[in-house]
Amino acid sequence: MAAVQETVDRVKSVDVDAYKYGFFTDIESDKAPKGLSEDTVRFISAKKNEPVWLTEWRLDAYRRWLTMTEPDWARVEYPKIDYQDLYYYSAPKSSPGPKNLDEVDPELLRVYEKLGIPLREQEVLAGVQERRVAVDAVFDSVSVATTFKAELAKAGVIFCPISEAVHSHPELVKKYLGSVVPVTDNYFATLNSAVFSDGSFVYIPPGVRCPMELSTYFRINEQNTGQFERTLIIADKGSYVSYLEGCTAPKRDENQLHAAVVELITHDDAEIKYSTVQNWYPGDSEGKGGIYNFVTKRGDCRGARSKISWTQVETGSAITWKYPSCILRGDESRGEFYSIAISNGRQQVDSGTKMIHLGKNTTSRIISKGISAGRSNNTYRGQVSAHRKATNARNFTNCDSLLIGETCGAHTIPYIEAKNATAVFEHEATTSKISEDQLFYCKQRGLSAEEATALIVNGFVRDVLQQLPMEFAVEAQKLISISLEGSVG
In this structure, the dihedral spanned by the alpha carbons of residues 97, 100, 106 and 108, taken in order and rounded to 10 degrees, is: 60
Closest CA to 233 of 261, 268, 201, 192: 201
In angstroms and rounded to an integer, the radius of gyration of the C-alpha atoms of the chain is: 22
Q: How far apart are CA 74 and CA 95, in angstroms?
A: 38
Shortest distance, position 344 Cβ to another protein, whole Å: 14
Closest CA to 243 of 222, 269, 264, 220: 264
- Rounded to the nearest 5 degrees, what angle is found at the Cα of 242, between the Cα atoms of 241 and 243? 115
Distance of CA 450 to the CA centre of its chain: 29
Shortest distance, position 90 Cβ to another protein, whole Å: 38
Shortest distance, position 397 Cβ to another protein, whole Å: 9
- Residue 449, sorted as left (phi over 0), alpha (psi -120 to 50) or beta, turns out to be alpha
Shortest distance, position 375 Cβ to another protein, whole Å: 11
> What are the Cα distances from residue 414, in Å, to 181, 296, 379, 486?
22, 18, 10, 30
CB within 8 Å of 486: residues ≥ 6 apart: 15, 16, 285, 344, 373, 374
Shortest distance, position 388 Cβ to another protein, whole Å: 7
Shortest distance, position 178 Cβ to another protein, whole Å: 26
Shortest distance, position 70 Cβ to another protein, whole Å: 16
Shortest distance, position 396 Cβ to another protein, whole Å: 10
Whichever of 37 and 432 has its CB closer to another protein, that residue is 432
287 phi and psi, to 5 degrees?
85, 15
Whichever of 193 and 372 has its CB closer to another protein, that residue is 372
Shortest distance, position 363 Cβ to another protein, whole Å: 14
DSSP secondary-structure letter at 30? E
User: What DSSP assignment string belongs to 416-448?
Assistant: EEE-STT-EEEEEEEEEE--HHHHHHHHHTT--
Whichever of 180 and 402 has its CB closer to another protein, that residue is 402
CB 177 within 8 A of CB 232: yes
SS3 477: helix
Whichever of 205 and 409 has its CB closer to another protein, that residue is 409
How many other CB atoms are there within 10 angstroms of residue 186's CB atom?
A: 19
Classify residue 59 as exposed, middle or buried by CB count within 10 Å of its CB (0-12, 13-18, 19+): middle
Residues of this chain that bind another protein (CB under 8 A): 73, 388, 401, 403-433
Whichever of 407 and 466 has its CB closer to another protein, that residue is 407
Number of C-alpha atoms within 13 angstroms, CB side, residue 426?
A: 6
Whichever of 167 and 419 has its CB closer to another protein, that residue is 419
Shortest distance, position 361 Cβ to another protein, whole Å: 15
Shortest distance, position 76 Cβ to another protein, whole Å: 14
Closest CA to 412 of 377, 385, 386, 376: 377
CB 344 within 8 A of CB 376: yes
Q: Which amino acid is at 485?
A: E
Q: How far apart are CA 99 and CA 239, in angstroms?
A: 29
Whichever of 157 and 404 has its CB closer to another protein, that residue is 404
Whichever of 433 and 443 has its CB closer to another protein, that residue is 433
309 phi and psi, to 5 degrees?
-125, 120
Number of C-alpha atoms within 13 angstroms, CB side, residue 60?
A: 10
Whichever of 250 and 382 has its CB closer to another protein, that residue is 382
Shortest distance, position 350 Cβ to another protein, whole Å: 12
Whichever of 173 and 408 has its CB closer to another protein, that residue is 408
Whichever of 59 and 429 has its CB closer to another protein, that residue is 429
Whichever of 228 and 460 has its CB closer to another protein, that residue is 460
